[in-house]
Structure 1
Amino acid sequence: MSDERLDPELPRAVALAWGVAAHPQRGPKRELSIERIVEAAVAIADAEGLGAVSMSRVAASLGFTTMSLYRYVTSKDDLILLMQEGAITPPVPDEAAPRSWREGVTAWVLALRAAYREHPWLVDIPISGAPITPNSLLLVDWFLREVRELPLSDGEKMSTLLLLTSYARATSAQERDLRVAAAAAADPGDVTGESAFAALVELVTPERFPDLSPLLAAGAYVAEPGTHPGETDDDFSFGLLRILDGIEHHVERVAAGARPEASAPAPPSPVIALPRDPKVREAAKARREAEKALREAQKREREAIKHALERERAAREKGARG
Structure 2
Amino acid sequence: MKQRTFIDSVKVYVKAGKGGNGSYSFRREKFIPYGGPDGGDGGNGGNIILRGNRDEDSLIRLHYTPHQIAGDGGKGLGQQMHGRNGKDLLLNVPCGTEIWNADTSAMIGEILNDGQEIVVAKGGKGGIGNVHFKTSTHQAPTEHTEGKLGDELNIRLELKLIADIGLVGFPNAGKSSILTGISDAHPKIAAYPFTTLNPIIGTLIYDDFIRIRIADIPGLIKGAHDGIGLGYDFLRHIERAQCLVYVIDMAGTDGRNPVDDYKTLKEELALYTTNLTKKPHLIVANKMDVPEAATNLKVFIKKTRTTPLPISAYTGERLDELRELMKKLINGEIKPGPKKARKTAKSAKQKPKKVRRK
Question: TM-score under structure 1 normalisation?
Answer: 0.24
More strand by share: 2
Q: Which has the higher helix share?
A: 1
